A and B are shown apart, each in its own frame.
Chain A
Amino acid sequence: MNATGIGAAVKRKEDFRFLTGQGTYTDDINRPGQAYAYILRSPLAHANIKNIDTTAAKAADGVLAVFIGDDMAADGVGGIPCGWGVNNKDGSAMAEPAHPALAQGKVRYVGDQVAIVIAETYTQAKDAAETISVDYEELPAVINMEAALAGGPLVHDDAPGNMSYDWGLGDLDAVNEGFKNATQVSKIDIVNNRLIPNAMEPRAGIGEYDTATGEYTLYTTTQNPHVIRLLMGAFVLNIPEHKLRIVSPDVGGGFGSKIFHYAEEAILTWAAGKIQRPIKWTAERSDAFISDAHGRDHITHAELAMDADGKFLALKVSTKANMGAYLSTFATSVPTYLYGTLLAGVYSTPAVYVEVKSVFTNTVPVDAYRGAGRPEASYLLERLVDRAARETGHSQVDLRRKNFIPNDAFPYQTPVALAYDSGDYNASLDEALKRADVVGFEARKAESERNGKRRGLGYSTYIEACGIAPSAVAGALGARAGLYESANVRVHPTGSVTVYTGSHSTGQGHETAFAQLVSDTLGVSLESVDIVHGDTNKVQFGMGTYGSRSLAVGGEALMKALNKITDKAGKIAAHCLEASEADIEFKDGQFSVAGTDKSMAFSDVALTAYVPHNFPHETLEPGLEENAFYDPANFTFPGGCHICEVEIDPDTGTVSVENFVAVDDVGRVINPMIVEGQVHGGVAQGIGQALLEGCIYDESGQLTTGSFMDYTMPRADNIPNMDVGNTVTLCAHNSLGVKGCGEVGAIGSPPAVINAIVDSLWGLGVRDIAMPATPQKIWQAIATAQTSQAAE
């Protein structure tokens, strides 16, 4: 193995600048003549706007301009588009109400954008915004999904019943047949709690217009600059690509929340053209809480049919998914394409049917958040399987093993559209059982009970779909974009390499992992490779980073371009070494002629490529630079087993996560240190969802958990030391055999945590606990169970 190549746990190249405060984030950028913007937001969840008086604000100190929705409408600015169309069961199109960048006539959630105030300083803009008088006619708000569907106030007049779509997937007849033949049925009602992403770096942007060239530039905190250029340029502002540049420099975390095209991006870009000065806006944390797309928020009922032996016969799932007030960019795909299709899990259930109603409410739009649909699917399935095991008298391990898709069944076509290419679910379960010392659990439990505590063990054997992925499949399911990736490899005359990747990074370590691929393939040092991303004027069209796709799709595009480089370099070497191309071998950065001692270093080939004094120009082009686009044949399917052990203090309801084992199959590991770090972060977010994080609105639509004083982010002391391991089955359809690791932690962990809590309290009569399992909820659940047991 090359010491800096595939499989090497090298330290991350980007960390020096991040850890020494030398990263360049959007807010670090300042443009000559820059003004500052404050976005005025709706304080009400639902109201008609009868009038907006901006007279005083326009006259306030330092104010350059104030714009409202009418101003954008007058300029013919389009609405914020949704990137994914989903059809109803009957084949009709979903309801897709308009989403103006600045509210027009109505506000639909607390945080809805109402006006932009631009001034010489941020404080002046904020002060002036306080003088804007908005005459709101408050309307009843609808927050709860059940109420929204049951004749609640309409969020949009053109979305009857507050529903965007009523979607179904699977063979309902086959499922009904399965239930007819069942001897045992387990049922569950489950809520997947709404989360507020809270990336460390708040969203920010600088809009700029160059009067000399007519070119607009938007610096923005996005995960996918080209997607923003396409959506904003083509659908909102009517700016052609060659006159619109999106720069997304270092990005301080995204977790999905920075995928979407946000109203502020369009407002800033448009307004910069209006006032012909650069305009900077940076969200305060309070803005982030009420304007970054939220995550999850499902209500589900599911039933699992089994035969007498515990073999799964059929699964029927009915889900309501909260969209919030508007359809965010990929919101519609999350509970369908990324959720419904995952409901076979790792099990060979022959029939699965899922229906999903997506619901408008007067809340912040909901969209993808680390895992996006797949955590909701794994949480549902693994909670249901846990319950089924308890109700049918199987052990957690036995019921799972009995129903795992066997190793010889791959490629495995599920009843919900996906075809899994590879996996070994027993292997990751076995490894996790060993690491978790499940054998010693009873003794540890007895010790806890001696101390007045309760102890539980929870399992999750999950699968997810990554690499989001084949354009053909995505297109058939409603995607309005292709989902390939691109790479350009530019070998410089002295042999150093710049890679332009259409993927992007929000801190995951691409500058290292991608450089390792280059180092491995070309035999050059890591230091001689730079990875460039995040600027549409530098990088060819690309799709960005989301869905754990950067390596599985972007890395493959890079491999494709690298292979073109070695092909071309081989031709050059053959010419220089006066050998036939077929005799050229390439190893450890040296081209050599088979069976001779003639060889040439990669860097010499590079130099020759740019100093082609004796090239046969008809057959050999100068230069060494290659471009590739890669559209995968399939998703990738990481999976694994998480085992969580908790101890509960019944006096207070406090949960302590005593041990967490994650054994994930992410395919071939390029950098074990990065993979481990990704799993640590993902599990921390999963534990956050399971124990701490819960977004709460009051009935009027005010966000009760609107700050860190009430919204509980996981902190270091909430998170145990984790035992993270891998089992490996290679992805069968990409050359690296990689599957993706960014989301496995967040997808696999929540059910393991909650199942462990249920395990610890089952003996007290507790049957369920909702996320986040706060001390109060656990104390209440114990008290309620004891009261009802006493009554019996």
Chain B
Amino acid sequence: MYEFEYQKPSSLSEAASAIKSADDGSLLAGGQTLLPTMKQRLASPSDLVDLSGVPGLSGISVVDGNVVIGAMTTHAAVAASADVKSNIAGLAKLAGCIGDPQVRHRGTIGGSIANNDPAADYPGACLGLGATIVTNNREISADDFFVGLFETALDDGEIITAVRFPIPEKSDYSKFAQPASRFSLVGAFVAKTSNGARVAITGAGQAGVFRVPAMESALNGDFSAASVGSISLPSDDLNSDIHGSADYRAHLVTVMAKRAVDGCG
């Protein structure tokens, strides 16, 4: 790890100005990706702006048909939340299968989606539920938020404050973990919402999380595992590495989507 300036602002506006004035600063949420990367000297921010002292960024509430989760809420808190479990079962399940207990008690939803690791789980839920990402400046729909590999629609220094998930009729997440890292090799988030079915796949795509329109329309016709079971993705745009070829990932997309539909009950 290289040296850096540590800052712990006590308000959102202080945080915003701290990150703006930093030479090459990083926001620090749970640090579960950033800190190991820094320890390996693969990242060397000039400043770390720690958001843990900013009030109001953590917590879960149900407002107007939405579950609203503060950006600094840990995965463990989401997984254990009665509000999440009763309203969006797939989201609670997803949070409960991120990393290991240590990661789940430090890592945050805001940190995860701001990083937009193509193998992270949360982008699947955001896109699969049609969530809205709330920042200190604006609101961004999940469909617009995840731009590419580790890329989001966030401006420099823009701070996620919360994620607003519309409560679906039902939802589920089915994850096939990469055996070593246990990130998702393929994760399928399926939701039946008032605006129709949504299917989001994480882990598999070269450009990160994506929706599968063919599966969504099949589910709009008949919300059953059988209707997605015959739909297979071309492997052209899928990741390929030592843990899974593009063909294997393509196959798993179908299997995981089926299981998630089944899991919706």
Residues in A lying within 8 Å of B, measured CB to CB: 123, 127, 286, 651-652, 692, 696, 704-705, 708-713, 774-776, 779-780
The smallest C-beta distance from B252 to any residue of chain A, in angstroms, reads 7
Q: List 6 A-B contacts (CB under 8 A).
A: A286-B40, A704-B242, A705-B180, A709-B180, A774-B243, A780-B248
B96 within 8 A of A: no
Q: Are B248 and A776 in contact (CB under 8 A)?
A: yes
Number of residue pairs A-B, CB distance < 8 angstroms: 37
Q: Are A776 and B255 in contact (CB under 8 A)?
A: no
With both beta carbons as reference points, the residue of chain A lying nearest to B40 in the complex is identified as A286
Q: Are B244 and A776 in contact (CB under 8 A)?
A: yes
Q: Are A705 and B179 in contact (CB under 8 A)?
A: no
Contact among B1, B2, B242, B251 with A710 in the assembled complex (CB-CB below 8 Å): B242
Question: Which B residues between 112 and 158 are near A, CB-CB below 8 angstroms?
Answer: none
Q: How far is the CA of A695 from the CA of B255 in the complex (A)?
A: 28
The smallest C-beta distance from B240 to any residue of chain A, in angstroms, reads 11
B181 within 8 A of A: yes
With both beta carbons as reference points, the residue of chain B lying nearest to A653 in the complex is identified as B248
The smallest C-beta distance from B37 to any residue of chain A, in angstroms, reads 11
Residues in B lying within 8 Å of A, measured CB to CB: 1-2, 40, 176, 179-181, 242-245, 248, 251-252, 255
Q: Are B181 and A776 in contact (CB under 8 A)?
A: no
The smallest C-beta distance from B125 to any residue of chain A, in angstroms, reads 21
- Given A713-B180, A779-B251; 14 other pairs, CB 8 A cutoff: A123-B1, A652-B252, A652-B255, A692-B179, A708-B181, A709-B180, A709-B181, A710-B180, A712-B179, A774-B179, A775-B179, A776-B245, A776-B248, A779-B248
Q: How far is the CA of A713 from the CA of B244 in the complex (A)?
A: 17
Chain A residues within 8 Å of B242, by CB = 696, 704-705, 710
Chain A residues within 8 Å of B255, by CB = 651-652
The smallest C-beta distance from A31 to any residue of chain B, in angstroms, reads 25
Q: How far is the CA of A774 from the CA of B176 in the complex (A)?
A: 13
With A286-B40, A704-B242 as known contacts, state yes or no: A712 contacts B248, CB within 8 Å: no
Q: Are A776 and B180 in contact (CB under 8 A)?
A: no
Give the 6 A-B residue pairs with the shortest CB-CB distance, closest first: A712-B180, A709-B181, A712-B179, A651-B255, A776-B248, A710-B180
Chain A residues within 8 Å of B2, by CB = 127
With both beta carbons as reference points, the residue of chain B lying nearest to A704 in the complex is identified as B242
Q: How far is the CA of A711 from the CA of B178 in the complex (A)?
A: 11
Contact among A127, A286, A704, A710 with B181 in the assembled complex (CB-CB below 8 Å): A710
Chain A residues within 8 Å of B40, by CB = 286
Chain B residues within 8 Å of A123, by CB = 1
Q: How far is the CA of A692 from the CA of B243 in the complex (A)?
A: 11
Q: Are B243 and A776 in contact (CB under 8 A)?
A: yes
With both beta carbons as reference points, the residue of chain A lying nearest to B182 in the complex is identified as A715
Q: How far is the CA of A780 from the CA of B251 in the complex (A)?
A: 11
With both beta carbons as reference points, the residue of chain B lying nearest to A692 in the complex is identified as B179
Chain A residues within 8 Å of B180, by CB = 692, 705, 708-713
- Most chain B beta carbons < 10 A, residue from A123, A705, A710, A776: A776
The smallest C-beta distance from A138 to any residue of chain B, in angstroms, reads 23
The smallest C-beta distance from A756 to any residue of chain B, in angstroms, reads 18
Q: How far is the CA of A651 from the CA of B232 in the complex (A)?
A: 14
Q: How far is the CA of A708 from the CA of B40 in the complex (A)?
A: 13
Q: How far is the CA of A402 from the CA of B40 in the complex (A)?
A: 56
Q: How far is the CA of A629 from the CA of B202 in the complex (A)?
A: 63
The smallest C-beta distance from B72 to any residue of chain A, in angstroms, reads 25
- Most chain A beta carbons < 10 A, residue from B40, B180, B245, B248: B180
With both beta carbons as reference points, the residue of chain A lying nearest to B245 in the complex is identified as A776
Chain A residues within 8 Å of B248, by CB = 776, 779-780
Chain B residues within 8 Å of A779, by CB = 248, 251
Chain A residues within 8 Å of B176, by CB = 652, 775
Chain A residues within 8 Å of B244, by CB = 776
The smallest C-beta distance from B13 to any residue of chain A, in angstroms, reads 34
Q: How far is the CA of A776 from the CA of B248 in the complex (A)?
A: 7
Chain B residues within 8 Å of A709, by CB = 180-181
